[in-house]
Amino acid sequence: MLVSPVLLSACGGGGGASGANGEKRFVAACTSKTNMPQDLCECVAKKARNDLSKDGFAMLLATLEDDRATADALRRSMKLEEVTQAGMFMATGPAACARG
């Protein structure tokens, strides 16, 4: 696996995890890796995009997509608060979306 182009993409270069493309990828990974329905995954993707840092969102997306190399590289470059927030997000984000 080539880490540098993937990492560049996940960090926002070339449209990877940025914007609507990142949210679409998040929803696809969320629906395939969890038992959450698509509408809940769409809410979670938007919430993650708004609540997490750019790198935090990219790390969470890489984790959902089973891209361990990218997730690990991002984790090493992030502040502890960002890593913690991203790491806790899948426990708190879906619950917040489910509550509406």
* pLDDT computed for residue 16 by the predictor: 58
Query: 18 falls in which pLDDT band (50, 70, 90)?
Result: low
> Looking at beta carbons, which pairs linking 14-18 to residues 24 or more positions away fall under 8 Å?
16/58, 17/54, 17/57, 17/58, 17/61, 17/62, 18/54
Residue 5 maps to a domain: no
Residues 6 or more apart from 56 whose CB is under 8 A from it? 48, 78, 82, 83, 85, 86, 89
> Do the domain assignments include residue 7?
no
For residue 61, tell me if it sits in a domain. Answer: yes
Structure tokens at 66: 């089973």
Residue 9 predicted with pLDDT over 90: no
Q: What is the pTM of this model?
A: 0.80
Does residue 56 belong to any structural domain of this protein? yes
The chain-wide mean pLDDT, for the chain, equals: 86
Domain count, the chain: 1
Query: Residue 9 domain-assigned?
Result: no
Write the pLDDT tens digit of every residue in 43-67. Answer: 999 999 999 999 999 999 999 999 9
The domain of 64 spans 15-99
Q: Does residue 44 lie in a domain region?
A: yes
